[in-house]
Amino acid sequence: MLSDHPVLEFLNTIPMVDGKLQDLLQNDADVVSALTRFGWPTTFEGTGLLTVARNVREELRRLVEGRKAGSPLELARLNAFLARAWSYLELNQDRTRSLAVRRVWEHRTPEQVLAPVAEAAAELLAAGDFELVRRCEGESCVLWFYDRTKSHHRRWCSMASCGNRHKVAAFRKRSRKA
Ligand SMILES: [Zn+2]
């Protein structure tokens, strides 16, 4: 995961491509596969997931940006959303008879499908280190990441794209001066 946090990865499903925002979520199946990839195994039989996912994504983006800016946050919408989650604990035993507890989320409605994302976002907003939650410094890049490097000097969504573009631009600047 480039962003090093599943909630930021979810925000990053609408990157800037050739100067235009491109939404990688285009239908319900895209949402199911994205959430599964980000660590929330998801199944969904109903309809209307895409609209709810996009709404939640923009709500979470607003909160992450507000938290980053140190602004007072309007939490009512997220809290209303959290109240619609449906989850329970399940106890499992493996072959060595050791026990493990895991949380299971119901996936009957779009809101229930997005519940683990909203819960993880609430945890991130409350307990995340927002010195380390940053937006890529790439010009016109909109991607977020959680800087988990030892030095905490991460600046780019990825070295291969924005980092490299910056290096090339800096090199051109230097050679023009020379
Ligand atoms: Zn970037």
- Compute the distance from residue 72 Cα to the ligand 1 centre, in Å: 27
- How confident is the model over 142-167, as pLDDT tens digits? 999 999 999 999 999 998 889 888 88
Query: What does the pLDDT read at residue 108?
Result: 94
| Confidence check: pLDDT of 140 > 80 | yes
First to last CA, the chain: 39
pLDDT, position 168:
84
Ligand 1 centroid vs 137 CA: distance in angstroms? Answer: 6
For the cut 80, the answer to whether the pLDDT of residue 103 exceeds it is yes
**CA 177 / ligand 1 centre spacing (Å):** 26
Q: Which residues contact 125 (CB under 8 A, 6 or more apart)?
A: 63, 64, 67, 73
In the chain, domain spans: 6-128
User: pLDDT value at position 96?
Assistant: 95
Distance 143 CA to ligand 1 centre (A): 6
User: Residue 35 has which token pair?
Assistant: 């959430």
**Ion ligand 1: residues, Cβ under 5 Å:** 136, 138, 141, 143, 157, 162
For residue 79, give Cα distances in angstroms to 76, 82, 109. 5, 5, 17
Query: Is pLDDT of 178 > 70?
Result: no
Mean pLDDT of 75-82: 96
Span from the CA of 36 to the centroid of ligand 1 (angstroms): 23
State yes or no: pLDDT of 73 exceeds 90: yes
